[in-house]
Structure 1
Amino acid sequence: MAAINNLALAKAIEELKIDGTKRQMDIHKQNASSYNGNYMAAEGKGIIFYTPSYCYGLGFGFDDTVCEQDLKAIEAELAARKIAQHLHLEITPFCNEAFIRVLQNKGYTFDHFLSVWILDTETWQEPARNPAAEIVTVDEFHSYDWAWTVALGISGDETATEEAMEAVRAFWEVSGNTAFLLKEGKEYAAGATIAIKGNLAEMFLTATLQAYRGKGYQNRLIEERIRFAKEQGCRYITVTTKPGTSSARNMERNGFALLYQRAILKSPPLTK
Protein backbone atom coordinates (compact mmCIF):
# COMPACT_ATOMS: atom_id res chain seq x y z
CA MET A 1 0.00 0.00 0.00
CA ALA A 2 1.26 3.48 -0.84
CA ALA A 3 2.56 5.60 2.04
CA ILE A 4 -0.19 7.59 3.75
CA ASN A 5 -0.47 10.00 6.64
CA ASN A 6 -1.79 7.64 9.30
CA LEU A 7 -2.73 10.44 11.70
CA ALA A 8 -4.78 12.27 9.07
CA LEU A 9 -6.44 9.00 8.04
CA ALA A 10 -7.15 8.05 11.65
CA LYS A 11 -8.85 11.40 12.21
CA ALA A 12 -10.94 10.94 9.06
CA ILE A 13 -11.98 7.44 10.16
CA GLU A 14 -13.02 8.63 13.62
CA GLU A 15 -14.90 11.61 12.15
CA LEU A 16 -16.76 9.36 9.70
CA LYS A 17 -17.78 7.04 12.52
CA ILE A 18 -18.84 9.91 14.79
CA ASP A 19 -20.87 11.66 12.08
CA GLY A 20 -22.65 8.47 11.02
CA THR A 21 -23.51 7.44 14.59
CA LYS A 22 -24.88 10.89 15.43
CA ARG A 23 -27.11 10.92 12.37
CA GLN A 24 -28.29 7.34 12.98
CA MET A 25 -29.28 8.26 16.53
CA ASP A 26 -31.12 11.37 15.36
CA ILE A 27 -33.09 9.35 12.79
CA HIS A 28 -33.84 6.58 15.28
CA LYS A 29 -35.20 9.12 17.78
CA GLN A 30 -37.45 10.60 15.08
CA ASN A 31 -38.76 7.17 14.09
CA ALA A 32 -39.21 5.72 17.58
CA SER A 33 -40.31 8.05 20.37
CA SER A 34 -39.43 5.42 22.98
CA TYR A 35 -35.77 5.30 21.94
CA ASN A 36 -33.58 6.74 24.71
CA GLY A 37 -30.13 6.70 23.16
CA ASN A 38 -28.38 10.05 22.77
CA TYR A 39 -25.01 11.79 22.54
CA MET A 40 -23.28 14.82 23.94
CA ALA A 41 -20.27 16.84 22.81
CA ALA A 42 -17.51 17.23 25.38
CA GLU A 43 -16.57 20.87 24.64
CA GLY A 44 -15.20 19.97 21.22
CA LYS A 45 -12.79 17.41 22.68
CA GLY A 46 -14.77 14.28 21.79
CA ILE A 47 -18.27 12.83 21.59
CA ILE A 48 -20.04 10.62 24.13
CA PHE A 49 -22.71 8.20 22.86
CA TYR A 50 -24.96 6.47 25.34
CA THR A 51 -27.91 4.17 25.88
CA PRO A 52 -29.16 2.87 29.26
CA SER A 53 -26.89 -0.18 28.89
CA TYR A 54 -23.72 1.16 27.28
CA CYS A 55 -21.78 4.42 27.11
CA TYR A 56 -18.72 5.12 24.96
CA GLY A 57 -16.63 8.02 23.73
CA LEU A 58 -14.94 8.67 20.38
CA GLY A 59 -12.49 11.26 19.11
CA PHE A 60 -10.72 11.99 22.39
CA GLY A 61 -7.03 12.85 22.59
CA PHE A 62 -6.31 13.91 19.00
CA ASP A 63 -5.84 17.66 19.28
CA ASP A 64 -7.11 19.39 22.39
CA THR A 65 -5.64 18.27 25.69
CA VAL A 66 -8.32 16.81 27.94
CA CYS A 67 -7.40 17.57 31.54
CA GLU A 68 -8.60 15.79 34.66
CA GLN A 69 -11.21 18.47 35.32
CA ASP A 70 -12.66 17.93 31.83
CA LEU A 71 -12.99 14.22 32.51
CA LYS A 72 -14.54 14.80 35.94
CA ALA A 73 -17.14 17.10 34.36
CA ILE A 74 -17.98 14.49 31.71
CA GLU A 75 -18.34 11.73 34.28
CA ALA A 76 -20.45 13.92 36.57
CA GLU A 77 -22.81 14.77 33.71
CA LEU A 78 -23.17 11.09 32.79
CA ALA A 79 -23.83 10.17 36.44
CA ALA A 80 -26.45 12.92 36.72
CA ARG A 81 -28.22 11.58 33.65
CA LYS A 82 -28.21 8.10 35.25
CA ILE A 83 -26.66 6.53 32.20
CA ALA A 84 -24.70 3.27 32.07
CA GLN A 85 -22.49 2.32 34.99
CA HIS A 86 -19.22 2.78 33.08
CA LEU A 87 -17.80 5.02 30.37
CA HIS A 88 -15.79 3.24 27.67
CA LEU A 89 -13.35 5.47 25.81
CA GLU A 90 -12.11 4.23 22.42
CA ILE A 91 -8.52 5.45 22.14
CA THR A 92 -6.26 5.39 19.07
CA PRO A 93 -2.44 5.10 19.17
CA PHE A 94 -2.32 8.79 18.17
CA CYS A 95 -3.89 9.90 21.44
CA ASN A 96 -2.20 12.71 23.37
CA GLU A 97 0.08 11.18 26.04
CA ALA A 98 -1.12 13.68 28.64
CA PHE A 99 -4.65 12.36 28.23
CA ILE A 100 -3.45 8.78 28.73
CA ARG A 101 -1.88 9.85 32.03
CA VAL A 102 -5.17 11.49 33.05
CA LEU A 103 -7.00 8.22 32.38
CA GLN A 104 -4.43 6.25 34.37
CA ASN A 105 -4.73 8.67 37.31
CA LYS A 106 -8.53 8.37 37.16
CA GLY A 107 -8.37 4.59 37.40
CA TYR A 108 -9.40 3.69 33.85
CA THR A 109 -8.51 0.10 32.98
CA PHE A 110 -7.96 -1.73 29.69
CA ASP A 111 -11.05 -3.63 28.50
CA HIS A 112 -10.31 -4.87 24.96
CA PHE A 113 -8.85 -4.02 21.56
CA LEU A 114 -10.57 -3.36 18.24
CA SER A 115 -8.63 -3.72 14.98
CA VAL A 116 -8.97 -0.92 12.42
CA TRP A 117 -8.19 -2.11 8.88
CA ILE A 118 -7.51 -0.16 5.69
CA LEU A 119 -7.59 -1.01 1.99
CA ASP A 120 -6.12 1.11 -0.79
CA THR A 121 -8.57 0.52 -3.64
CA GLU A 122 -5.87 1.28 -6.21
CA THR A 123 -4.09 -1.94 -5.22
CA TRP A 124 -7.21 -4.13 -5.10
CA GLN A 125 -7.45 -6.86 -7.72
CA GLU A 126 -11.11 -7.49 -8.48
CA PRO A 127 -12.01 -11.20 -8.40
CA ALA A 128 -14.49 -12.82 -10.76
CA ARG A 129 -18.08 -12.37 -9.69
CA ASN A 130 -19.67 -15.43 -8.09
CA PRO A 131 -23.21 -15.90 -9.47
CA ALA A 132 -24.22 -18.39 -6.76
CA ALA A 133 -26.17 -15.77 -4.80
CA GLU A 134 -27.84 -12.49 -5.74
CA ILE A 135 -26.88 -9.21 -4.06
CA VAL A 136 -29.25 -6.26 -4.33
CA THR A 137 -28.70 -2.64 -3.39
CA VAL A 138 -31.29 -1.87 -0.73
CA ASP A 139 -34.07 0.55 -1.65
CA GLU A 140 -37.23 1.54 0.24
CA PHE A 141 -38.96 -1.67 -0.83
CA HIS A 142 -36.15 -3.89 0.54
CA SER A 143 -35.22 -1.76 3.57
CA TYR A 144 -37.31 -3.63 6.14
CA ASP A 145 -36.27 -7.06 4.83
CA TRP A 146 -32.65 -5.94 5.03
CA ALA A 147 -33.07 -4.51 8.55
CA TRP A 148 -34.74 -7.68 9.84
CA THR A 149 -32.04 -9.86 8.21
CA VAL A 150 -29.21 -7.87 9.81
CA ALA A 151 -30.93 -7.60 13.21
CA LEU A 152 -31.61 -11.35 13.30
CA GLY A 153 -28.07 -12.13 12.14
CA ILE A 154 -26.54 -9.93 14.84
CA SER A 155 -28.63 -11.42 17.64
CA GLY A 156 -27.17 -14.41 19.39
CA ASP A 157 -30.36 -16.46 19.31
CA GLU A 158 -31.89 -15.46 15.95
CA THR A 159 -34.57 -13.37 17.62
CA ALA A 160 -34.92 -9.61 17.27
CA THR A 161 -37.36 -7.02 18.52
CA GLU A 162 -39.05 -4.35 16.41
CA GLU A 163 -36.89 -1.81 18.25
CA ALA A 164 -33.70 -3.64 17.23
CA MET A 165 -34.88 -3.74 13.63
CA GLU A 166 -35.68 -0.01 13.65
CA ALA A 167 -32.23 0.75 15.08
CA VAL A 168 -30.64 -1.11 12.16
CA ARG A 169 -32.95 0.46 9.57
CA ALA A 170 -32.01 3.95 10.79
CA PHE A 171 -28.51 3.34 9.39
CA TRP A 172 -30.03 2.79 5.94
CA GLU A 173 -31.70 6.19 6.20
CA VAL A 174 -28.43 8.03 6.89
CA SER A 175 -27.35 10.07 3.87
CA GLY A 176 -24.15 8.62 2.41
CA ASN A 177 -24.89 5.09 3.59
CA THR A 178 -25.69 2.25 1.17
CA ALA A 179 -26.96 -1.17 2.24
CA PHE A 180 -26.74 -4.52 0.48
CA LEU A 181 -28.96 -7.58 0.83
CA LEU A 182 -27.81 -11.05 -0.23
CA LYS A 183 -30.39 -13.61 -1.32
CA GLU A 184 -30.06 -17.37 -1.72
CA GLY A 185 -32.83 -18.27 -4.10
CA LYS A 186 -35.87 -16.44 -2.80
CA GLU A 187 -34.63 -16.29 0.80
CA TYR A 188 -32.77 -13.41 2.44
CA ALA A 189 -29.50 -14.68 3.88
CA ALA A 190 -27.19 -11.77 4.79
CA GLY A 191 -26.86 -8.01 4.80
CA ALA A 192 -24.19 -5.34 5.02
CA THR A 193 -23.63 -1.57 4.89
CA ILE A 194 -21.08 0.95 3.67
CA ALA A 195 -20.72 4.65 4.51
CA ILE A 196 -18.94 7.07 2.17
CA LYS A 197 -17.55 10.53 2.85
CA GLY A 198 -15.22 12.04 0.28
CA ASN A 199 -12.63 9.47 -0.77
CA LEU A 200 -13.05 7.37 2.39
CA ALA A 201 -15.53 4.53 2.91
CA GLU A 202 -16.33 2.48 6.00
CA MET A 203 -17.81 -1.02 5.86
CA PHE A 204 -19.92 -2.00 8.87
CA LEU A 205 -23.15 -3.58 10.14
CA THR A 206 -22.61 -6.97 8.48
CA ALA A 207 -24.52 -10.10 9.46
CA THR A 208 -25.50 -13.52 8.12
CA LEU A 209 -28.42 -15.61 9.31
CA GLN A 210 -27.31 -18.76 11.14
CA ALA A 211 -28.68 -21.17 8.51
CA TYR A 212 -26.56 -19.56 5.78
CA ARG A 213 -23.21 -19.26 7.54
CA GLY A 214 -20.12 -21.02 6.21
CA LYS A 215 -21.03 -20.39 2.56
CA GLY A 216 -18.72 -17.43 1.95
CA TYR A 217 -21.50 -14.86 1.92
CA GLN A 218 -19.62 -12.41 4.13
CA ASN A 219 -16.76 -12.48 1.65
CA ARG A 220 -19.22 -11.87 -1.19
CA LEU A 221 -20.56 -8.80 0.61
CA ILE A 222 -17.03 -7.51 1.25
CA GLU A 223 -16.20 -7.79 -2.46
CA GLU A 224 -19.47 -6.13 -3.48
CA ARG A 225 -18.87 -3.15 -1.20
CA ILE A 226 -15.27 -2.74 -2.36
CA ARG A 227 -16.51 -2.63 -5.97
CA PHE A 228 -19.16 -0.11 -5.03
CA ALA A 229 -16.76 2.14 -3.12
CA LYS A 230 -14.23 2.07 -5.94
CA GLU A 231 -16.94 2.97 -8.46
CA GLN A 232 -17.87 5.92 -6.21
CA GLY A 233 -14.30 7.21 -6.34
CA CYS A 234 -13.13 6.12 -2.87
CA ARG A 235 -9.37 5.72 -2.44
CA TYR A 236 -9.51 4.09 0.99
CA ILE A 237 -11.90 1.69 2.69
CA THR A 238 -11.81 1.01 6.42
CA VAL A 239 -13.48 -1.56 8.63
CA THR A 240 -13.27 -2.34 12.36
CA THR A 241 -13.22 -5.90 13.71
CA LYS A 242 -12.38 -7.75 16.87
CA PRO A 243 -8.82 -9.14 16.67
CA GLY A 244 -8.34 -12.78 15.70
CA THR A 245 -11.89 -13.35 14.46
CA SER A 246 -13.18 -14.74 11.19
CA SER A 247 -14.10 -11.18 10.23
CA ALA A 248 -10.48 -10.11 10.74
CA ARG A 249 -9.26 -13.02 8.61
CA ASN A 250 -11.75 -12.06 5.88
CA MET A 251 -10.25 -8.57 5.82
CA GLU A 252 -6.74 -9.95 5.34
CA ARG A 253 -7.91 -12.30 2.58
CA ASN A 254 -9.38 -9.31 0.74
CA GLY A 255 -6.19 -7.25 0.88
CA PHE A 256 -6.85 -5.09 3.95
CA ALA A 257 -3.89 -4.12 6.15
CA LEU A 258 -4.01 -3.42 9.87
CA LEU A 259 -3.83 0.36 10.32
CA TYR A 260 -3.98 0.48 14.12
CA GLN A 261 -5.55 -1.05 17.22
CA ARG A 262 -8.15 0.99 19.06
CA ALA A 263 -7.85 0.41 22.82
CA ILE A 264 -11.10 0.43 24.81
CA LEU A 265 -10.51 1.86 28.30
CA LYS A 266 -13.17 1.44 30.96
CA SER A 267 -13.89 3.93 33.73
CA PRO A 268 -14.45 3.06 37.37
CA PRO A 269 -18.19 3.03 38.31
CA LEU A 270 -19.74 6.40 37.48
CA THR A 271 -22.01 6.23 40.53
CA LYS A 272 -21.09 4.98 43.96
Structure 2
Amino acid sequence: MNEQTARTPLFCDVTLAGRIERAEARFIAACGEAAARRRGDRRGFRMPIGGGVAGYAEPDSPLNKVAGLGFAGPPDPAALDAVEQAYAARGAPVQAEVASLADPAVLQLLAERGYRLVSVENVLGHALGGGAAGPVTPPGVEVRPSDDAELDTWLDVVVEASLHPDAQGVPWQEEFPREVLENAERDAAGLVRRYLARLDGVPAGGGSMHLTDGVAQLTGAGTAPGFRRRGIQSALLAARLADAATAGCDIAVVTVQPGSASQQNAQRRGFDLLYVRAVLVLEPGR
Protein backbone atom coordinates (compact mmCIF):
# COMPACT_ATOMS: atom_id res chain seq x y z
CA MET A 1 0.00 0.00 0.00
CA ASN A 2 1.53 3.33 -0.99
CA GLU A 3 1.64 6.49 1.14
CA GLN A 4 -1.24 8.17 -0.68
CA THR A 5 -3.70 5.31 -0.20
CA ALA A 6 -2.57 4.67 3.40
CA ARG A 7 -3.07 8.20 4.69
CA THR A 8 -6.05 9.13 6.85
CA PRO A 9 -8.35 11.69 5.16
CA LEU A 10 -8.54 15.05 6.88
CA PHE A 11 -11.64 15.34 9.09
CA CYS A 12 -13.36 18.70 9.48
CA ASP A 13 -15.43 19.46 12.58
CA VAL A 14 -17.45 22.58 13.35
CA THR A 15 -14.46 24.25 15.04
CA LEU A 16 -12.20 23.87 12.02
CA ALA A 17 -14.96 24.94 9.63
CA GLY A 18 -15.56 28.05 11.71
CA ARG A 19 -11.87 28.89 11.57
CA ILE A 20 -11.82 28.53 7.79
CA GLU A 21 -15.00 30.58 7.35
CA ARG A 22 -13.66 33.36 9.59
CA ALA A 23 -10.54 33.47 7.42
CA GLU A 24 -12.75 33.83 4.36
CA ALA A 25 -14.72 36.64 6.00
CA ARG A 26 -11.52 38.51 6.89
CA PHE A 27 -10.26 38.17 3.34
CA ILE A 28 -13.50 39.51 1.84
CA ALA A 29 -13.45 42.45 4.25
CA ALA A 30 -9.81 43.26 3.43
CA CYS A 31 -10.49 43.08 -0.31
CA GLY A 32 -13.41 45.44 0.15
CA GLU A 33 -11.17 47.93 1.94
CA ALA A 34 -8.67 47.72 -0.92
CA ALA A 35 -11.47 48.35 -3.42
CA ALA A 36 -12.56 51.44 -1.48
CA ARG A 37 -9.01 52.80 -1.59
CA ARG A 38 -8.84 52.21 -5.34
CA ARG A 39 -12.19 53.84 -6.02
CA GLY A 40 -11.70 56.70 -3.58
CA ASP A 41 -15.39 56.81 -2.68
CA ARG A 42 -17.81 55.38 -0.14
CA ARG A 43 -19.84 53.31 -2.55
CA GLY A 44 -18.66 50.05 -1.01
CA PHE A 45 -19.24 48.74 2.50
CA ARG A 46 -18.11 46.10 4.99
CA MET A 47 -20.66 45.22 7.67
CA PRO A 48 -20.21 42.63 10.46
CA ILE A 49 -23.09 40.18 10.54
CA GLY A 50 -23.57 37.00 12.60
CA GLY A 51 -19.86 36.41 13.15
CA GLY A 52 -19.14 36.96 9.45
CA VAL A 53 -19.11 39.93 7.12
CA ALA A 54 -21.22 41.43 4.37
CA GLY A 55 -19.07 43.07 1.72
CA TYR A 56 -19.75 45.18 -1.34
CA ALA A 57 -16.93 46.47 -3.57
CA GLU A 58 -18.55 47.76 -6.76
CA PRO A 59 -21.26 46.73 -9.25
CA ASP A 60 -21.12 43.06 -10.34
CA SER A 61 -17.93 42.32 -8.36
CA PRO A 62 -17.17 38.75 -7.21
CA LEU A 63 -16.28 40.36 -3.87
CA ASN A 64 -19.94 41.25 -3.24
CA LYS A 65 -21.00 38.57 -0.79
CA VAL A 66 -21.87 37.63 2.78
CA ALA A 67 -19.27 35.24 4.19
CA GLY A 68 -18.72 33.43 7.48
CA LEU A 69 -22.32 33.17 8.70
CA GLY A 70 -23.45 30.53 11.17
CA PHE A 71 -20.54 30.09 13.58
CA ALA A 72 -21.69 32.68 16.13
CA GLY A 73 -25.36 31.75 16.09
CA PRO A 74 -27.89 32.95 13.52
CA PRO A 75 -27.65 36.64 12.58
CA ASP A 76 -29.91 39.13 14.33
CA PRO A 77 -32.87 39.89 12.05
CA ALA A 78 -32.41 43.64 12.52
CA ALA A 79 -28.77 43.37 11.47
CA LEU A 80 -29.81 41.30 8.47
CA ASP A 81 -32.40 43.97 7.61
CA ALA A 82 -29.60 46.55 7.52
CA VAL A 83 -27.43 44.35 5.28
CA GLU A 84 -30.28 43.70 2.85
CA GLN A 85 -31.11 47.41 2.70
CA ALA A 86 -27.46 48.28 1.99
CA TYR A 87 -27.33 45.93 -0.98
CA ALA A 88 -30.76 47.02 -2.24
CA ALA A 89 -29.69 50.67 -2.14
CA ARG A 90 -26.98 49.74 -4.65
CA GLY A 91 -29.31 47.68 -6.82
CA ALA A 92 -27.40 44.52 -5.94
CA PRO A 93 -28.58 41.08 -4.80
CA VAL A 94 -27.52 39.69 -1.44
CA GLN A 95 -25.35 36.61 -1.99
CA ALA A 96 -24.90 34.62 1.21
CA GLU A 97 -22.46 31.72 1.31
CA VAL A 98 -23.29 29.31 4.13
CA ALA A 99 -21.18 26.31 5.10
CA SER A 100 -22.90 22.97 5.61
CA LEU A 101 -21.32 22.84 9.10
CA ALA A 102 -22.81 26.21 10.09
CA ASP A 103 -25.75 26.56 12.48
CA PRO A 104 -28.74 25.10 10.57
CA ALA A 105 -30.89 27.94 11.88
CA VAL A 106 -29.12 30.26 9.43
CA LEU A 107 -30.47 28.41 6.40
CA GLN A 108 -33.95 28.34 7.89
CA LEU A 109 -33.82 32.09 8.56
CA LEU A 110 -32.63 32.91 5.04
CA ALA A 111 -35.26 30.66 3.47
CA GLU A 112 -37.99 32.38 5.46
CA ARG A 113 -36.75 35.74 4.15
CA GLY A 114 -37.01 34.65 0.52
CA TYR A 115 -33.43 33.64 -0.27
CA ARG A 116 -33.13 30.94 -2.93
CA LEU A 117 -30.40 28.37 -3.41
CA VAL A 118 -28.54 29.01 -6.69
CA SER A 119 -25.40 26.85 -6.43
CA VAL A 120 -22.99 25.02 -4.16
CA GLU A 121 -19.21 25.04 -3.78
CA ASN A 122 -16.88 22.41 -2.36
CA VAL A 123 -14.30 23.43 0.25
CA LEU A 124 -11.27 21.12 0.22
CA GLY A 125 -8.50 20.96 2.78
CA HIS A 126 -4.94 19.65 3.07
CA ALA A 127 -3.20 19.13 6.41
CA LEU A 128 0.27 20.69 6.45
CA GLY A 129 3.30 20.03 8.61
CA GLY A 130 5.55 17.05 8.97
CA GLY A 131 7.56 18.13 5.96
CA ALA A 132 6.47 20.03 2.89
CA ALA A 133 4.97 18.22 -0.04
CA GLY A 134 7.37 17.51 -2.86
CA PRO A 135 7.65 19.86 -5.81
CA VAL A 136 5.94 19.22 -9.12
CA THR A 137 8.14 20.06 -12.09
CA PRO A 138 6.56 19.21 -15.45
CA PRO A 139 8.90 19.59 -18.45
CA GLY A 140 9.47 23.25 -19.31
CA VAL A 141 7.35 24.59 -16.41
CA GLU A 142 8.76 27.03 -13.88
CA VAL A 143 6.75 28.44 -10.97
CA ARG A 144 8.05 31.25 -8.80
CA PRO A 145 6.72 34.10 -6.66
CA SER A 146 5.54 37.07 -8.70
CA ASP A 147 6.66 40.55 -7.64
CA ASP A 148 5.08 43.95 -8.22
CA ALA A 149 7.18 44.58 -11.32
CA GLU A 150 5.23 41.90 -13.19
CA LEU A 151 1.82 42.56 -11.65
CA ASP A 152 0.26 43.38 -15.03
CA THR A 153 1.62 40.14 -16.52
CA TRP A 154 0.21 38.16 -13.62
CA LEU A 155 -3.15 39.94 -13.93
CA ASP A 156 -3.36 39.26 -17.65
CA VAL A 157 -2.84 35.52 -17.31
CA VAL A 158 -5.13 34.92 -14.31
CA VAL A 159 -7.95 37.03 -15.76
CA GLU A 160 -7.64 35.33 -19.16
CA ALA A 161 -7.85 31.96 -17.42
CA SER A 162 -10.93 33.07 -15.44
CA LEU A 163 -12.69 34.23 -18.60
CA HIS A 164 -12.26 30.75 -20.13
CA PRO A 165 -13.06 28.30 -17.32
CA ASP A 166 -12.52 24.59 -17.72
CA ALA A 167 -15.70 22.89 -18.93
CA GLN A 168 -15.35 19.87 -16.63
CA GLY A 169 -17.82 19.54 -13.75
CA VAL A 170 -20.55 21.90 -12.60
CA PRO A 171 -20.04 25.37 -14.14
CA TRP A 172 -19.72 28.50 -12.03
CA GLN A 173 -23.11 30.12 -11.53
CA GLU A 174 -21.65 33.60 -12.10
CA GLU A 175 -19.87 35.26 -15.02
CA PHE A 176 -18.02 38.56 -14.73
CA PRO A 177 -16.82 41.14 -17.27
CA ARG A 178 -13.06 41.41 -17.80
CA GLU A 179 -12.83 44.86 -16.20
CA VAL A 180 -14.62 43.68 -13.07
CA LEU A 181 -12.37 40.63 -12.76
CA GLU A 182 -9.27 42.77 -13.25
CA ASN A 183 -10.41 45.15 -10.52
CA ALA A 184 -11.11 42.32 -8.07
CA GLU A 185 -7.75 40.66 -8.73
CA ARG A 186 -5.93 43.99 -8.42
CA ASP A 187 -7.70 44.74 -5.14
CA ALA A 188 -6.67 41.35 -3.74
CA ALA A 189 -3.12 41.49 -5.15
CA GLY A 190 -1.68 43.38 -2.19
CA LEU A 191 -3.15 40.90 0.29
CA VAL A 192 -1.89 37.65 -1.21
CA ARG A 193 1.28 35.89 -2.25
CA ARG A 194 1.24 35.76 -6.04
CA TYR A 195 2.78 33.05 -8.23
CA LEU A 196 3.46 33.08 -11.96
CA ALA A 197 3.97 29.90 -13.97
CA ARG A 198 5.93 29.96 -17.21
CA LEU A 199 6.07 27.29 -19.87
CA ASP A 200 9.32 27.46 -21.83
CA GLY A 201 9.69 31.02 -20.57
CA VAL A 202 6.20 32.18 -21.62
CA PRO A 203 3.68 33.28 -18.91
CA ALA A 204 1.12 30.49 -18.87
CA GLY A 205 -0.62 30.46 -15.51
CA GLY A 206 -0.89 32.16 -12.17
CA GLY A 207 -2.11 31.63 -8.65
CA SER A 208 -2.34 33.29 -5.26
CA MET A 209 -2.47 32.46 -1.57
CA HIS A 210 -3.69 34.33 1.52
CA LEU A 211 -2.32 33.41 4.96
CA THR A 212 -4.22 34.09 8.17
CA ASP A 213 -4.59 32.31 11.54
CA GLY A 214 -2.59 29.33 10.32
CA VAL A 215 -4.91 28.89 7.33
CA ALA A 216 -3.47 29.06 3.82
CA GLN A 217 -6.30 30.07 1.53
CA LEU A 218 -5.52 29.19 -2.07
CA THR A 219 -7.37 32.20 -3.42
CA GLY A 220 -7.30 31.34 -7.08
CA ALA A 221 -5.28 29.74 -9.82
CA GLY A 222 -5.69 29.44 -13.55
CA THR A 223 -3.95 28.41 -16.72
CA ALA A 224 -4.36 30.32 -19.97
CA PRO A 225 -6.39 28.23 -22.45
CA GLY A 226 -3.51 27.52 -24.83
CA PHE A 227 -1.35 26.00 -22.08
CA ARG A 228 -3.71 23.59 -20.38
CA ARG A 229 -3.10 19.88 -19.76
CA ARG A 230 0.62 20.53 -19.30
CA GLY A 231 0.82 20.16 -15.49
CA ILE A 232 0.81 23.88 -14.70
CA GLN A 233 -2.03 23.72 -12.18
CA SER A 234 -0.33 20.91 -10.29
CA ALA A 235 2.93 22.84 -10.21
CA LEU A 236 1.19 25.97 -8.89
CA LEU A 237 -0.56 23.91 -6.24
CA ALA A 238 2.64 22.22 -5.07
CA ALA A 239 4.55 25.51 -4.85
CA ARG A 240 1.90 27.11 -2.67
CA LEU A 241 1.59 24.09 -0.37
CA ALA A 242 5.34 24.09 0.21
CA ASP A 243 5.38 27.82 1.01
CA ALA A 244 2.34 27.54 3.28
CA ALA A 245 4.02 24.80 5.31
CA THR A 246 7.22 26.84 5.55
CA ALA A 247 5.17 29.83 6.77
CA GLY A 248 3.82 27.72 9.65
CA CYS A 249 0.29 27.11 8.43
CA ASP A 250 -1.29 23.85 9.55
CA ILE A 251 -3.97 23.67 6.85
CA ALA A 252 -4.42 24.75 3.24
CA VAL A 253 -7.90 25.20 1.80
CA VAL A 254 -9.30 25.75 -1.67
CA THR A 255 -12.83 26.36 -2.95
CA VAL A 256 -13.79 24.54 -6.15
CA GLN A 257 -16.80 23.74 -8.25
CA PRO A 258 -18.11 20.19 -7.77
CA GLY A 259 -16.59 17.71 -10.20
CA SER A 260 -14.24 20.29 -11.74
CA ALA A 261 -10.73 19.77 -13.02
CA SER A 262 -9.57 21.96 -10.12
CA GLN A 263 -11.15 19.55 -7.64
CA GLN A 264 -9.60 16.59 -9.42
CA ASN A 265 -6.14 18.18 -9.40
CA ALA A 266 -6.43 19.11 -5.71
CA GLN A 267 -7.52 15.64 -4.65
CA ARG A 268 -4.62 14.13 -6.56
CA ARG A 269 -2.34 16.31 -4.40
CA GLY A 270 -3.88 15.04 -1.15
CA PHE A 271 -6.78 17.43 -0.56
CA ASP A 272 -9.95 16.10 1.04
CA LEU A 273 -13.53 17.33 0.85
CA LEU A 274 -14.21 19.18 4.12
CA TYR A 275 -17.68 20.63 3.59
CA VAL A 276 -19.99 22.28 1.09
CA ARG A 277 -20.99 25.94 0.88
CA ALA A 278 -24.53 26.74 -0.15
CA VAL A 279 -24.82 29.94 -2.21
CA LEU A 280 -28.14 31.66 -1.54
CA VAL A 281 -29.36 34.84 -3.21
CA LEU A 282 -31.96 37.47 -2.36
CA GLU A 283 -32.76 39.66 -5.34
CA PRO A 284 -33.34 43.42 -4.87
CA GLY A 285 -36.94 44.28 -4.12
CA ARG A 286 -37.86 40.92 -2.62
Q: TM-score scaled to structure 1, two decimals?
A: 0.86
Aligned match for 2:86, one of 55, 77, 84: 77
Partner of 1:49: 55
Partner of 1:207: 222
1:224 and 2:242 are equivalent in the alignment: no
Aligned match for 2:97, one of 85, 90, 97: 90
- Distance between the aligned counterparts of 1:35 and 1:207, measured in 2? 32
- Distance between the aligned counterparts of 2:123 and 2:177, measured in 1? 28
Partner of 1:60: 69
Please say if residues 67 and 102 of structure 1, whose CA atoms lie closer than 8 Å, have aligned partners that are also in contact: no
User: For 1:124-135, what aligned pairs fall within 5 Å after superposition?
Assistant: 125-126=133-134, 129-130=137-138, 132-135=140-143
Name the amino acid aligned to 1:170: D
**Could you tell me how far 1:229 is from its partner in structure 2?**
0.9
2:204 is paired with a residue of what secondary structure? Answer: strand
Greater displacement, 143-152 / 28-37: 28-37
1:172 and 2:172 are equivalent in the alignment: no
**Could you tell me how far 1:34 is from its partner in structure 2?**
7.7
- Distance between the aligned counterparts of 2:136 and 2:233, measured in 1? 16
Aligned match for 1:192, one of 172, 184, 207: 207
**Could you tell me how far 1:36 is from its partner in structure 2?**
5.1
Partner of 1:15: 22
Report Cα offsets for 1:106-145 as digits up to 9, x if no partner: 2222211100001012477525644521112111212221
Please say if residues 11 and 274 of structure 2, whose CA atoms lie closer than 8 Å, have aligned partners that are also in contact: no
**Could you tell me how far 1:96 is from its partner in structure 2?**
2.1
1:241 and 2:256 are equivalent in the alignment: yes
Please say if residues 163 and 178 of structure 2, whose CA atoms lie closer than 8 Å, have aligned partners that are also in contact: no
**Could you tell me how far 1:63 is from its partner in structure 2?**
1.3
**Could you tell me how far 1:17 is from its partner in structure 2?**
1.6
**Could you tell me how far 1:89 is from its partner in structure 2?**
1.1
Please say if residues 151 and 160 of structure 1, whose CA atoms lie closer than 8 Å, have aligned partners that are also in contact: no
Name the amino acid aligned to 2:185: V
Partner of 2:145: 137
| Gap runs ≥5 in structure 1 | none
2:234 is paired with a residue of what secondary structure? Answer: helix
**Could you tell me how far 1:60 is from its partner in structure 2?**
1.4
Please say if residues 25 and 38 of structure 1, whose CA atoms lie closer than 8 Å, have aligned partners that are also in contact: yes
Classify 1:206/1:265 alpha carbon distance in 2 versus 1 (closer, same or farther; 3 Å). same
Classify 1:148/1:58 alpha carbon distance in 2 versus 1 (closer, same or farther; 3 Å). same
Name the amino acid aligned to 2:161: G
Greater displacement, 46-55 / 254-263: 46-55
**Could you tell me how far 1:252 is from its partner in structure 2?**
0.8
User: For 1:148-159, what aligned pairs fall within 5 Å after superposition?
Assistant: 148-156=156-164
The aligned length equals 265
**Could you tell me how far 1:160 is from its partner in structure 2?**
7.5
Percent of aligned pairs with the same amino acid = 23
**Could you tell me how far 1:190 is from its partner in structure 2?**
0.3
**Could you tell me how far 1:166 is from its partner in structure 2?**
4.1
- Distance between the aligned counterparts of 2:258 and 2:180, measured in 1? 29
- Distance between the aligned counterparts of 2:193 and 2:186, measured in 1? 11
Greater displacement, 67-76 / 31-40: 31-40
Report Cα offsets for 1:149-186 as digits up to 9, x if no partner: 111221239x9856643431332211xx2110011223
Report Cα offsets for 1:35-89 as digits up to 9, x if no partner: 95543223x543112332364211212113324444334323322x2331x2121
1:142 is paired with a residue of what secondary structure? Answer: helix
Name the amino acid aligned to 1:214: R
Partner of 2:169: none
| Gap runs ≥5 in structure 2 | 1-7, 166-175
Name the amino acid aligned to 1:270: P
- Distance between the aligned counterparts of 1:2 and 1:242, measured in 2? 20
Q: TM-score scaled to structure 2, two decimals?
A: 0.82
1:264 and 2:276 are equivalent in the alignment: no
- Distance between the aligned counterparts of 2:223 and 2:285, measured in 1? 38
Please say if residues 122 and 277 of structure 2, whose CA atoms lie closer than 8 Å, have aligned partners that are also in contact: yes
1:74 is paired with a residue of what secondary structure? Answer: helix
